Structure formats: C-alpha cells, structure tokens
Amino acid sequence: MAFQLPFKFLGDATTTPIDIRARQSRMMEYDQPLVWVVILLMLLGMVMVYSASIALPDSPKFSAYSNTYFLQRQGTFILIAALIAAFTFRIPIATLQAASPYLFIATLVLLVLVLIPGIGIVVNGGRRWLPFGLGQPSEVMKLIMVLYAADYTVRKQEYMHKLTKGFLPMALAVSFVGLLLLLEPDLGAFGVIVCIAMGILFLGGVNAIWFGGIASMLVTIFVTIIALSKFRRDRFFAYLNPWEEENALNKAYQLTHSLIAFGRGELFGVGLGGSVEKLHYLPEAHTDFLLAVIGEELGLVGVLVVIALFYWIVKRAFDIGRQAIAIDQTFAGLVAKGIGIWIGVQCFINMGVNLGLLPTKGLTLPLMSYGGSGVVINCVGLAILLRIDYENRVLMRGGRV
C-alpha cells in the first residue's frame, strides 16, 4: 500500500482551489499579538491611573471629583479610542497617502486656533487644548507628521540628495510647526515631532551631509531655547543636581519624589495601591509620572515588563515597515517605521524624565497615562500600523487591497 502524507502541500496537484481558499481564510488577517500587547498596556495603564488618582479628591483642587472620576474617564477614552481605531483600520493606506498633505494643513489650522485667546484653553500655564472635546492639536500633529513626512519622502525621492528641492521644504514645514508649538509652549511635543520627521527623512535616504548639518543646527536651537528661557534654564540645572535643598523643594520637586518612588519600590514593589508618593507628594502622578507609581507599587519587575512591551511594539513596527518596503510599498513602510520612532521616542523621553535621566518635560507615557487625546491618537496610529501589516499579508498572498 502506498504511503500518503497526512497533509497536502500548497503546490500539490491534488490540492483544489477550495483547499487553498480554506487555508488562506485560516491565516491571521491581522497581527493578533500586537493587538493583545496594546490592550494589555491600556488595561494596565487604566489600573495604574486609578491607583495613582484615587487619593486626588482629598485635595482642594479635586474635591468635587469622586475617587473613580479619572478611572471612569480613562475607560471612556479607551472605548472611544477603540471605536475610532476600528474605523481607521478600514481605511486603505493609499487613501491616507493621498490625504496626508490636506491633513497636515488642517492640523496646522488647529495649532493656530489653539493660540487664539478665547479659543485655546490654558491649563497649568500652557495653551494647548481646544474646547468641545477636540483635545490637543499637538498630539494629532505627531501622527500627521508621520504621514506627511513619509508622503513627502516618497514624492521627493529623486531630490532627497539636494538641499533646496529635497531637504529645505521639509525643514521649513517642521520649523513652522515648531514655532506654533513653542508659542503654546510645548517643547516636548516639538522634540518628538522633530525626531519623527528627521527619522523618516533619514530612512528615506536623505543626504547624510545635509542630515548631519541640520541635526547639529537643531541641537543648537534647542540649547538656545533652554538658555534664553529662565524657567527652562533653572529646570535644567535643577535636573543636574536635584538633591540640593533649594532644587529639591522647587524646580526638582517632581524629580526627587519620582526617584523616591522608584527607590521605595525596590525589586517587586510595595504592592498595588500601596504607593505613598501618590498621596499628594508627586504632582501629575496619573499623567506624566505614571511610571514612577508603577515603579513604587510593582517594583523594578513591573517597570521592566512595561519597557519590554513597548520595545516589542517598536520592534514590530520596524519589522512591518521593513516587510512593506520589501514588497515595494515604500510609503507604508516609512509610515510603519515612523510610528515606531514616534512611540519609541516618546516612551524614551517619558521614562528618562521619570528616572532622572532627562530634564523634566511634560510628555505622557503612550497608551497608559491619563488623557483622551494621547490615548485616541496612539490607538489611531497603531490601527494604521495594523492596516499596513494587513495589506502586507494580502499582497504577499497575491490579493488586492
């Protein structure tokens, strides 16, 4: 009796078109591990936001709020983000590419509107919010800059080694965005957006000499901004020596209490809900300094888990981008890598600030910190990443998107 394999190869003569379609339908249409990692980070973030904010109603500033106020709002933000992300996933990447210049202009208009007195909302000295639930235009610009820079790089590919036709127009666009952000002021968002634009241009093959020169100029600009601003200058020098008495009680107050939180957490933490620093010692514990609360309550192990999950997302974004470029989907590939740069840079800055490696700057931890604009835009960006991966899979199977 002839021996028969218990399965059929795809190219087997006995394989029917029905078999092929059945196998194709069983293939994952989207990156399920990526989805679960994102969900895990958002759920962990919601738990930690609740833990970090549960005592806030004890202070006069938040006395009108319930203990679950921030938990309920964060849950609502996540639900809204999931719905918008599901809608975004259905938009073809080609449509996003065609719309990217118009989206960039529309976001510039929002950045201008936020600066107009009576329209922009001032919170903690910064005019960064729009009314009617429109959130922060600076958060939107991070995503739009990914799309715009990728589209620009593809359109100007033959001029990328020329200064006037290749690099200069993009530099002027980023400079104008930076000017609007500095007027808010929001130096942190400007830094992230510059990294996104420069990173995509570098990956797109910009002339190395121009890239190095512009990078040096940008460093000079940031140093000048800090030097000319007394507030930023004092904060920078306080970061260099946070434990000096004058700094510890003033400009470095957040940093010192963040470091105390990490120190109390040690290896495994003091236990969920057991943080002392969140009891009105560490300002903005549920937003910019959420990682410090994680470090105190879940210890070094908890912090390393969070870092590992974000590293996995960034690595997966670059893998998806590399795969897209390999099948001649250059725009999609640059967008995927741009999303990886965006998430990676913002995580690095937030974590660096919390750990005292960088000067204090108001940037949230993506997907985890409290805030509607950040969570929604992060989810939209990751939905686009999932869409790129989905189209990669379809194209590699010989299908159409």
Q: Give tens-digit pLDDT for 138-147.
A: 999 999 999 9
Which residue range is the domain that position 124 belongs to? 100-228
In this prediction, residue 74 carries a pLDDT of 95
Q: What is the pLDDT of residues 253-264, one digit of tens each?
A: 888 999 999 999
| Final residue in a domain of this structure, among 228, 260, 288 | 228
Both 155 and 182 in one domain: the answer is yes
Both 86 and 111 in one domain: the answer is no
pLDDT band for position 220 (50/70/90)? confident
Both 388 and 269 in one domain: the answer is yes
In this prediction, residue 28 carries a pLDDT of 60
Q: Say if 21 falls within a structural domain.
A: no
Q: Say if 309 falls within a structural domain.
A: yes
Which range has the top average pLDDT, 5-9, 65-69, 299-303? 299-303
Q: What is the pLDDT of residues 324-383, one digit of tens each?
A: 999 999 999 999 999 999 999 999 999 999 998 888 877 899 999 998 889 999 999 999
Q: Say if 86 falls within a structural domain.
A: yes
Q: Say if 242 falls within a structural domain.
A: no
Among the residue ranges 40-44, 248-252, 354-358, 379-383, the one predicted with the least confidence is: 248-252
Mean pLDDT calculated for residue range 39-67: 91
In this prediction, residue 15 carries a pLDDT of 47
Both 318 and 218 in one domain: the answer is no
Both 320 and 365 in one domain: the answer is yes
Residue type, 218: L
The three-state DSSP-derived secondary structure of the chain is CCCCCCCCCCCCCCCCHHHHHHHHHHCCCCCHHHHHHHHHHHHHHHHHHHHHHCCHHHCHHHCCCCCCHHHHHHHHHHHHHHHHHHHHHCCCHHHHHHHHHHHHHHHHHHHHHCCCECCEEEECCEEEEECCCCECHHHHHHHHHHHHHHHHHHHCHHHCCCHHHHHHHHHHHHHHHHHHHHCCCCHHHHHHHHHHHHHHHHHCCCCHHHHHHHHHHHHHHHHHHHHHCHHHHHHHHHHHCCCCHHHHCCCCHHHHHHHHHHHHHCCCCCCCCCCCCCCCCCCCCCCCCHHHHHHHHHHHHHHHHHHHHHHHHHHHHHHHHHHHHHCCCHHHHHHHHHHHHHHHHHHHHHHHHHCCCCCCCCCCCCCCCCCHHHHHHHHHHHHHHHHHHHHHHHHHCCCCC
Phi-psi bin for 371: left (phi > 0), alpha (psi -120 to 50), beta? left
pLDDT band for position 269 (50/70/90)? very high
CB-count burial class (<10 Å; 0-12, 13-18, 19+) for 152? buried
DSSP-derived secondary structure for 117-130: BTTBEEETTEEEEB
Q: Which two tokens stand for residue 255?
A: 């940093």
Q: Say if 258 falls within a structural domain.
A: yes
Q: Say if 41 falls within a structural domain.
A: yes
Both 257 and 220 in one domain: the answer is no
CA–CA separation, 74 vs 378, rounded Å? 14
In this prediction, residue 204 carries a pLDDT of 82
In this prediction, residue 252 carries a pLDDT of 80
Q: Which two tokens stand for residue 66?
A: 């319930």
In this prediction, residue 9 carries a pLDDT of 35
Prediction pTM value: 0.88
In this prediction, residue 280 carries a pLDDT of 86
**In the chain, how many domains are there?**
2
Q: Say if 246 falls within a structural domain.
A: no
Both 303 and 272 in one domain: the answer is yes
Both 71 and 107 in one domain: the answer is no
CA–CA separation, 1 vs 357, rounded Å? 71
Q: Say if 3 falls within a structural domain.
A: no
| Final residue in a domain of this structure, among 228, 259, 276 | 228
Q: What is the pLDDT of residues 387-401, one digit of tens each?
A: 999 999 999 888 777
Mean pLDDT calculated for residue range 161-190: 83
In this prediction, residue 5 carries a pLDDT of 37
170 vs 379, more confident: 379
Residue 296 pLDDT greater than 50, yes or no: yes
Both 116 and 154 in one domain: the answer is yes
In this prediction, residue 10 carries a pLDDT of 40
3-state secondary structure of 280: coil
Q: Which two tokens stand for residue 134?
A: 């429109």
**Angle separating helix axes 330-354 and 93-113, nearest 10 degrees:** 40
Both 303 and 352 in one domain: the answer is yes
Q: What is the pLDDT of residues 94-133, one digit of tens each?
A: 999 999 999 999 999 999 999 988 888 887 667 888 887 7
Q: What is the pLDDT of residues 306-337, one digit of tens each?
A: 999 999 999 999 999 999 999 999 999 999 99
Q: Which residues contact 172 (CB under 8 A, 6 or more apart)?
A: none
Query: Do 251 and 234 touch, CB atoms closer than 8 A?
Result: yes
Both 354 and 296 in one domain: the answer is yes
Residue 195 pLDDT greater than 50, yes or no: yes
CB-count burial class (<10 Å; 0-12, 13-18, 19+) for 20? middle
Both 394 and 323 in one domain: the answer is yes
Residue 24 pLDDT greater than 60, yes or no: no
